[in-house]
Chain A
Amino acid sequence: MSGVAADVHDVGGPAQPLLIARDLFKHFHVRGGSKSARVRAVDGVSFTLFKGETLGVVGESGCGKSTLARLLLHLVTRDGGELIFDGEPVGAPHGITVAALRRHVQMVFQDSYSSLNPRMPVQDSVAFGPFVHGRRKPDARRAARDMLVKVGLNPDLFGQRYPHELSGGQKQRVNIARALAIEPRMVILDEAVSALDKSIEAQVLNLLRALKAQFNLTYLFISHDLNVVRYVSDRVLVMYLGRVVELGPSEDIFTRPLHPYTRALLGSRPSMDPANRIEEPPITGDPPSPIDPPSGCRFHTRCPFAEDVCAAKSPELGAWLDRGSHVAACHMLDAGSGHSVAPA
């Protein structure tokens, strides 16, 4: 893929993107299926995460959002592609190790209960990270208590409690504290607020925003909730069946979506303003199976504008250069693709 920073080994500096993902692949074997049957969970995803930004990742269930998150942390090993953290390739001989990556990138999971050890007081869960990274236990516990304060939980009241004694919002704040305890530079929020009540969700989002400013963090914010993504993200990446279909600044995506899938996705959102109706036909049915995805453009089976070229040829995501670039993988935008709507 083209368009990312010219010299990827340029370490540091504000211009160096924090994370560059290039052509990431992850195909899972299908249990009981034939040898060739594979779930193409992530199928050639490339994007750049700039320092200090919040990149929203949206898409339907099963489009590979969570697998992408796990790939970035090496919780699942990638089958192909390259990951460059602050100019250093991850896992390459001359780059940084996976362990070093995990020192800098942390993750908050959707299920706030199962992401805390039920038999560990929450302050010990938070202290686990610093402890693993070589701090002595009392020291790690002190750091954990400080971090609990930062997420708005009084450690004297909550530190000794077990996860089942906390509310969903409190648990998720503990999870945020756990992720931040080892002072990462980047946090992956995998549906981190999706399971919360709306009022609590807003409070946690505000907390995340405050923490981001305080610790100079970069967020990868994965969600299926478009309104939340619009609220928190600087840029948005739209995924469909393991591929990136559109990438651009948040406001551009929400006001001028380029890809028919993005338009349909936005059209599925209930509008609060009767004058602001979205005229796009809504998409129907479930996404096709990622085991045997459609040929060409993955979306052509559900796209109202699909033509022969869409089934024959896979559209390329245009080259993006900086934070302002807005690109989409669609033949209708690509001059010379052969699509009737395409610019001449």
Chain B
Amino acid sequence: MSQTASLPVRVRFDDDAPPALRVRGYWSSVGYRLRHDPATLFFGLVVLLIVLAAIFAPLLAPFDPYKESVVLRLKPFGYRGHPLGTDELGRDLLSRLIYGGRSSLLMGLVPVCIAVVLGGTLGVIGGFAGRRVNAAIMRTMDVFYAFPSVLLAVAISGAMGGGMANGMAALALVFIPAMCRVAETATAQVRSLDFIEAARATGAGTFTIVRYHVLGNVLGPVFIYASSLVSVSILLASGLSFLGLGVKPPTPDWGLMLSTLRQSIYVAPLSCALPGAAIFVTSICFNLVSDGIRSAMDVRL
């Protein structure tokens, strides 16, 4: 017991079982767990491909996504060099799907990121401050909560006018109350634990305590919830586009494509299913990847 040599009285402990050596730091152990999680790696690859396809759309798309043709409407897969056929205005579907990823991913990620920052901050403030501050913040959020999310998004973007930026702002406003509540709950749970009191007893200020002891414990639940919102956001955005708010035709967008192709469901069911499949694959991959990252980051697993 060389490590107790400095004690004036030698104290021996029965529970000092020789532990397994642990030399990794936090991030390298996260990396280790991620590398040994083939499912997350696979879905992460899919997400990466979707994002890359959206970024490099001009290089990948075989046709101009805006080029219409009266004769080529609703052609089947592989028709005259159109790998996935054409839509109801004769535009190449594959090109539109690739380009559509741009606005769909933006509409999926940007509002969620805004909501994480704003809603998360409000939630942590409310959860940590407690009492009146918390009541003021959470009751305000409850007002927004009272509306169905679709209705709220429609109302806000209707009031602000169409367009992609307004659509994103509207969706962010829809997500902020829910995000705020998740962060508030997680913060309130941590706040009452002894280690917060111990930190306060050390003489740490509120900001330092939140920065070092609260955020790490709140990030997990917020992260999970945010990832599930990405797919919701893509779908809500498509709903907005459908109603003439958000993305405007002829801009390629998965949600918009879904709603315009909807009329042709009996003529070309497969073409009609494509944008839906794109939304589905993207959202499920986002969910699975974020779940995998969360498990890898959880020190308790």
A interface residues (Cβ-Cβ under 8 A, vs B): 70, 73, 75, 99, 102-103, 105-107, 109, 111, 114-121, 125, 128-129, 132-133, 149-150, 152-154, 157-158, 160-162, 164-165, 167-170, 173, 175, 178-179, 182, 199-200, 203, 206-207, 209-211, 213-214
Chain B residues near A (Cβ < 8 Å): 1, 3-4, 6-9, 11-16, 18-19, 21-26, 193-195, 197-204, 208, 212-213, 216-217, 299-300
How many Å lie between the Cα of A168 and that of B13 in the bound state? 12
Q: Which 4 A-B pairs have the closest CB atoms?
A: A115-B194, A102-B203, A210-B9, A129-B202
Query: Residues of B contacting A102 with CB < 8 Å?
Result: 201-203
B11 touches A152 (CB 8 A): yes
Q: For the complex, give the distance between the alpha carbons of A118 and B9 in Å.
A: 31
Is B26 touching A109 in the complex (CB atoms < 8 A)? no
**Once the chains bind, are B4 and A152 in contact (CB under 8 Å)?**
yes
A150 touches B6 (CB 8 A): yes
State the CA gap A70–B203 with chains docked (Å).
14
Q: How far is the CA of A167 from the CA of B19 in the complex (A)?
A: 11
Please name all residues of chain A whose beta carbon is closer than 8 Å to the beta carbon of B198 when the two chains form the complex.
Answer: 107, 109, 115, 175, 178-179
Q: How far is the CA of A182 from the CA of B204 in the complex (A)?
A: 12
Smallest Cβ-Cβ distance to A207: which chain B residue? B11
A-side contacts of B14, CB under 8 Å:
169, 199-200, 203
Q: Known A99-B203, A162-B299; judge A153-B15 contact (CB<8 A).
A: no
Contact A120 B208 (CB under 8 A): no
- Complex CA distance for A128 and B216, rounded to whole angstroms: 15
Q: Which residue of A lies closest to B25 (CB)?
A: A160
Residues of chain A within 8 A of B8, CB atoms compared: 210, 213-214
Do most interface residues of chain B lie in helix, strand or loop, or is the interface mixed?
loop
Q: Which of A107, A118, A121 contacts B201 (CB 8 A)?
A: A107
Give every chain A residue within 8 A of B208 (Cβ-Cβ).
Answer: 132
A sample of 15 cross-chain residue pairs with beta-carbon separation below 8 angstroms, ordered by A number, consists of A75-B201, A102-B202, A105-B201, A107-B198, A114-B193, A115-B198, A116-B195, A118-B300, A119-B217, A119-B299, A133-B202, A149-B3, A164-B300, A203-B13, A207-B7
State whether B23 touches A114 (Cβ < 8 A): no
- Cross-chain contact B200 with A160 (CB below 8 angstroms): no
Contacts of B7 in A (CB 8 A): 150, 152, 207, 210-211, 214
**With contact pairs A73-B201, A75-B200, A162-B299 given, residues A111 and B3 touching in the complex (Cβ less than 8 Å):** no
B1 touches A152 (CB 8 A): yes
Which residue of A has the minimal Cβ distance to B300? A164
Give A168 to B7 CA distance when docked, in angstroms.
Answer: 21
Given contacts A119-B216, A167-B15, 14 further A-B contacts (CB under 8 A): A75-B197, A107-B201, A109-B197, A114-B193, A117-B213, A118-B300, A120-B212, A120-B213, A121-B26, A128-B199, A157-B22, A160-B23, A203-B12, A213-B9
Chain B residues within an 8 Å CB radius of A109: 194, 197-198
Q: Is the CB of B217 within 8 A of A158?
A: no
Please, which residues of chain A bring their CB within 8 A of the CB of B21?
Answer: 157
Q: A176 CA to B271 CA in the complex, in Å?
A: 67
